[in-house]
Structure 1
């Protein structure tokens, strides 16, 4: 049987599925170090990862490796240039998490706007003695302007939710979406600078690349309204977290909601010192149904890419399909 590594704990029934086709080495414990990942991949034909970095040195140490299935939409953990040079296929899991991630992004935006976390901490600390007319005044969401940076599948799902809140939707994207989609979503394409200046609530849903690194930094935060919120459900590194801390502390923007961070699971410790930020540990897709769908889709990709199952040779979500059928180099 072909050998695979499942590099992270996942649902045991997905492991049972994979065992029907492969000899499975399952890391059901702590995250593997780069050295341990390379060692365990040395004799493997495929791997299922969830954010584990895979680059040229890892691929060189695993001469049999032909596919790495990422249990995520983003694949900035893959060095795709190295994958292409080695003729190793990468796959991801788009679509199945669109709605749950959009739900969570909406919840995070609402919590930031209405100061939910800040007021809960205050209540838990025993400070609530009476009702005051000006306690924790936040910003309205209904009837406000939503600015979406990254109008892909999840960005569009957010824009659909905005219709129920009677919001004006403006967006910025690398390329303008089809006119039909703009009409359906009642969304207006604007420059990034225009969006930052006009939006009451900015939500980031763009992929992380070297070009999107620090899409939001000090200069961009200075363009935002002092009453505005910023929500990041995309990837760490898209926001300059240190600059964001300074903007929050100085009240240059009202609040932020973050699910992702530079260098996660480590985060800038100063984020813990400002009250006007909602912090969650990269859980935007964390519903049982969605995480199961992601795990099974990653398994589908792995099974098919290694020539097994009903879709043998035709994985549903190849990132670099041009290497399909090519010999490993």
Structure 2
């Protein structure tokens, strides 16, 4: 008999079929389906698959008495009750490292589009407006990039900056000894130094509204902020005000506090580039994440440690 997998996040038919080679898959990709699946199948579930934005709550964990493994696709796990799970002896594993390149690529797409005003230029071109009637979009190269959160994704973003001959600084809880970049103990100081501010830090209560009005003011009227981490890290109301009042120049957001609904405060602004939380999504990255889950699950079921445990 196959072990039962409760999948709480979107999966393609192909990936569900891949998992079905090993598991009896209970697919419940929205909250009502999850509640119904747990009520019906909870006592049989051995493995749960989720993402950081969906998570797995203490109450859900308690309704899964046979649960021994929780996996998340991707690196984030902010809404998984990790301490509660570990207190019950449940192993927690992530997909860390499976989509880093994709996220870093997307970060630079957002940054270039925001700095070079790609969307307003596209709109003007379609309307027949020629370049001599438009303001000059500033360079990307030879600027200063501040990264909040120099983990594996942050390091990939920094690596790509070198091709633009950009100086890199970063903020972490503590300085790293394995990178040559300038360390800032304070986020506002990093923002004041930087031309571009990229958010690559985990979400959760500890980073909620870490980028607030004071940080945006420090970034200044030529500054660009990009968020590919979690929407909660930026104070959306403060960001909207800063963009409208010209206290920063532009923003590129793949994540926002209102998701999956779009950020209403920003929708009428032409100095914002928005994408629907797809920075880590590509055929290659999603397949890597699913393969990592299968590796973690197979190892766990064989009595071995996962490849990427918490």
Task: Report if TM-score (shorter chain) is over 0.5.
Answer: yes
**CA contact under 8 A between 2:86 and 2:92: conserved in structure 1?**
no
Q: Deviations over 1:188-228 (max 9, x none)?
A: 11232221111111111001121111110111111112101
Query: Is 1:26 matched up with 2:27?
Result: yes
Which 4+ runs in 1 deviate beyond 6 A?
A: none
How far has the Cα of 1:8 moved from its partner? 3.2
Q: Secondary structure at the match of 1:45?
A: strand
- Which range moves more in the overlay, 162-171 or 77-86? 77-86
Q: Deviations over 1:47-86 (max 9, x none)?
A: 2223423111101111111112111210012011221222
Of structures 1 and 2, the one scoring higher in RCO (CA 8 A, sep 6+) is 1
Normalising to structure 1: TM-score of the pair? 0.87
How far has the Cα of 1:313 moved from its partner? 2.1
| Aligned residue in 2 for 1:82 | 84
Q: Secondary structure at the match of 2:70?
A: strand
- Within 5 Å, give how 1:225-264 maps onto structure 2: 225-264=220-259
1:137–1:315 CA distance, 2 compared to 1 (3 A):
same
Query: Is 1:142 matched up with 2:144?
Result: no
| Aligned residue in 1 for 2:169 | 170
- Within 5 Å, give how 1:270-281 maps onto structure 2: 270-281=265-276
Structure 2 residue runs of 5 or longer lacking an equivalent are none
Give the paired residue count: 305
Q: Secondary structure at the match of 1:211?
A: helix
Query: Is 1:157 matched up with 2:156?
Result: yes
**CA contact under 8 A between 1:41 and 1:65: conserved in structure 2?**
no
**CA contact under 8 A between 2:198 and 2:225: conserved in structure 1?**
yes
How far has the Cα of 1:267 moved from its partner? 3.5
**CA contact under 8 A between 1:11 and 1:292: conserved in structure 2?**
no
How far apart are the structure 2 equivalents of 1:279 and 1:234? 13
How far apart are the structure 1 equivalents of 2:132 and 2:293? 51
Q: Deviations over 1:260-315 (max 9, x none)?
A: 011311233111021110000001112111110011111222222233xxxx4221
1:130–1:163 CA distance, 2 compared to 1 (3 A):
closer
| Aligned residue in 1 for 2:69 | 67
Q: Secondary structure at the match of 1:93?
A: coil
Q: Deviations over 1:142-184 (max 9, x none)?
A: 1111111111111111111111111111111111111x422xx
**CA contact under 8 A between 2:73 and 2:290: conserved in structure 1?**
yes
How far apart are the structure 2 equivalents of 1:112 and 1:72? 26
| Aligned residue in 2 for 1:317 | 308
**CA contact under 8 A between 2:26 and 2:37: conserved in structure 1?**
no
How far apart are the structure 2 equivalents of 1:130 and 1:14? 47
Q: Secondary structure at the match of 1:203?
A: strand
Structure 1 residue runs of 5 or longer lacking an equivalent are 320-329
1:101–1:68 CA distance, 2 compared to 1 (3 A):
same
How far apart are the structure 1 equivalents of 2:174 and 2:280? 25
Query: Is 1:52 matched up with 2:43?
Result: no
| Aligned residue in 2 for 1:322 | none
| Aligned residue in 2 for 1:181 | 179
**CA contact under 8 A between 1:198 and 1:225: conserved in structure 2?**
no
Q: Deviations over 1:92-126 (max 9, x none)?
A: 101121111101101101101011122223444x2
Alpha-carbon RMSD: 1.8
Q: Secondary structure at the match of 2:308?
A: coil
How far has the Cα of 1:39 moved from its partner? 2.4
Q: Of residues 179, 191, 195 in structure 1, which corresponds to 2:190?
A: 195
How far apart are the structure 1 equivalents of 2:36 and 2:137? 48
How far has the Cα of 1:37 moved from its partner? 5.0
